[in-house]
Amino acid sequence: MTGTATGQELSARPVGRLTVWQGAALYIGAVLGTGVIALPALAARAAGPASLLAWLGLVLLSVPLAATFAALGARYPDGGGVSTYVRHAFGERTAAVVGWCFYFAVPAGAPAAGMFAGAYVATAVGGGRRTVVVTAAVLLILVMVANGLGLAVTGRMQLVLAVLLVALLLTAVATALPHAHARNLHPFAPHGRPAIGSAAALLVWSFAGWEAITHLAADFRRPARDLPRATALAVAVVGVLYLAIATTSVLVLGPAAGTSDAPLADLLALGIGGTVHALAAAAALLLTLGTMNAYFAGAAKLGAALGRDGALPAWLSQGSDVGEVPRRSLAVVSGLSGLALTVTTLAAVGPQPLVLLTTGSFVTVYALGTAAALRLLPRGTLPHRWALLALTAVAVLLVMTGWYLLWPLIVTASALCYLRWRRGTGSAMSCRGWSKSIDAGQRGQSD
């Protein structure tokens, strides 16, 4: 197979099924995590009403990051996502590192998110730790089954979840705003201006997820057109919702915004009535299910692409083509997620260790992905300028991540050892995978 596809091959290639709206819903689910329930309170506690500046700053910074990954996904539509971009820019070893960092971060992050939601359910219905674990397990099973049925089912499920979530958040804002008071903005910065930076450090994790859907770029009907549109729509929705919830929390709850465990539930209870804990549990389940669903879809496709390209065992390559369901890779992600949940349950350590394993990995993916964008996107264009701005912002995140980077360093060493072992056993990198990645990039450019 050559690196240039003929017109007949291009017309015969499988066409993805994801629509702009489904893609936007996947993005919204990936970015709007459970942090929207608790982080407005943490930010208000750190900086008071001035925390709204931190929210605004991070919304603005998410624009170049999302635009960068959308430009790369449209130009190189492939299941490898960021790993594919890094391969084109820096070679197979760095691509394997990025792929491993993302792929093995999801099985750690998914059960942690499930346990966060489970904690809200346990508060509402009782049952303590057992309810937490059962809730996390049920969420894992739901997203595994949904993704096993195919991306069409996953996309429809995510669209429903996104509509429900947006409706819930808008309801909280609309019904609580009549109780707003401008006096709650004073004093605006009770802890001084430096506290705004502290609030931003807390909030930065609420804006992770813009890289997750790039693994599904080739599964859009027209990647070069639909992926940027889905990204732009998601950026607008996420930005408006985050700012609306944060602003309403400060204006309505006042000083209590910094002490509430669930400000979103407090807004709903104040606006429409009801039991705060039940409302918080409902919001947590919607947010968590959407996030897990999006990340499972992206990770499953990535694992198949890594198997195709030789960065993981070739057995995983099933499902790497457009329109195929990567059930083997999905089974690995689901199995590892279940194992992580079991280990943390037996060790009685809670979700915190899993969170620490996840954060450093995603920052590493962002750093190498934006660096690859500077080499791949045409100089002087708007996407290249977005990439430069995004890389600068990610460099700050790397400094803030600190010793959490130890885990991606371990993953890096493991990925490189695996590649060396494959060479030692005479297993060459898949030529088929290489040519498909190149063809996908060329198709993206021609589109």
DSSP 47-103: HGGGHHHHHHHHHHHHHHHHHHHHHHHHHS--TTTHHHHHHHHH-HHHHHHHHHHHH
Give the span between the Cα atoms of 328 and 170, in whole angstroms.
39
Q: What pLDDT is attached to residue 328?
A: 92
Give the span between the Cα atoms of 205 and 210, in whole angstroms.
11
CB contact at 8 A, 34 and 116: yes
182: burial class by Cβ within 10 Å (0-12, 13-18, 19+)? exposed
Is residue 322 over pLDDT 60? yes
| Phi, psi for residue 292 in degrees, rounded to 5 | -65, -40
278: burial class by Cβ within 10 Å (0-12, 13-18, 19+)? middle
The closest alpha carbon to 260, from 244, 271, 249, 272, belongs to 249
Is residue 98 over pLDDT 70? yes
Highest mean pLDDT among 137-146, 157-166, 421-430: 137-146
Task: Please give the average per-residue pLDDT across 211-227, as a whole number.
Answer: 79
Q: What pLDDT is attached to residue 445?
A: 44
Highest mean pLDDT among 53-57, 194-198, 425-429: 53-57
Is residue 202 over pLDDT 70? no
Of residues 141 and 423, more confidence is placed in: 141
Helix/strand/coil for 220:
strand
Of residues 320 and 182, more confidence is placed in: 182
| Vertex 216: Cα angle to 157 and 39 (nearest 5) | 65
- Lowest mean pLDDT: which of 98-102, 163-167, 336-340? 163-167
Is residue 444 over pLDDT 50? no
Is residue 10 over pLDDT 90? no
Q: What pLDDT is attached to residue 432?
A: 44
| Phi, psi for residue 18 in degrees, rounded to 5 | -70, 135
Q: Is the dihedral of CA 32, 393, 404, 306 positive or negative?
A: positive
Task: Please give the average per-residue pLDDT across 393-408, as a whole number.
Answer: 77
Q: What pLDDT is attached to residue 320?
A: 74
3-class SS shares of the chain: helix, strand, coil, % to 5: 80, 0, 20
Q: Report the b/e string of 93-117 with b at 16+ CB within 10 A.
A: ebbbbbbbbbbbbbbbbbbbbbbbb
Token pair for residue 290? 């959407």
Q: What pLDDT is attached to residue 88?
A: 92
Confidence band of 35 (pLDDT split at 50, 70, 90): low
Q: Is the dihedral of CA 43, 57, 390, 170 positive or negative?
A: positive
Token pair for residue 387? 């990439």
Helix/strand/coil for 18:
strand
Highest mean pLDDT among 141-155, 370-384, 431-445: 370-384
**From its phi and psi, is residue 254 left (phi > 0), alpha (psi between -120 and 50) or beta?**
left
Q: What pLDDT is attached to residue 339?
A: 93
Give the span between the Cα atoms of 379 and 85, in whole angstroms.
16
Confidence band of 337 (pLDDT split at 50, 70, 90): very high
Task: Please give the average per-residue pLDDT across 358-369, as a whole number.
Answer: 84
Q: What pLDDT is attached to residue 395?
A: 84
Confidence band of 332 (pLDDT split at 50, 70, 90): very high
Task: Please give the average per-residue pLDDT across 210-236, as a whole number.
Answer: 82
What is the chain's length? 447
Is residue 359 over pLDDT 80? no
- Lowest mean pLDDT: which of 77-81, 100-104, 271-275, 420-424? 271-275
Q: Residues of the chain with pLDDT > 90: what percent?
A: 12
Q: What pLDDT is attached to residue 334?
A: 92
Averaged pLDDT of the chain = 79
Query: What does DSSP assign to residue 378?
Result: P
Q: Please report where in the chains the tokens 């790993």 appear, as a residue.
A: 83
Is residue 101 over pLDDT 60? yes
CB contact at 8 A, 140 and 111: yes
Of residues 210 and 95, more confidence is placed in: 95
Highest mean pLDDT among 188-192, 232-236, 277-281: 232-236
Is residue 162 over pLDDT 90? no
Q: Residues of the chain with pLDDT > 70: what percent?
A: 85
Task: Please give the average per-residue pLDDT across 3-16, as a whole number.
Answer: 44
Is residue 5 over pLDDT 50? no
Is residue 2 over pLDDT 90? no
Q: What pLDDT is attached to residue 4?
A: 39
Query: What does DSSP assign to residue 425?
Result: T
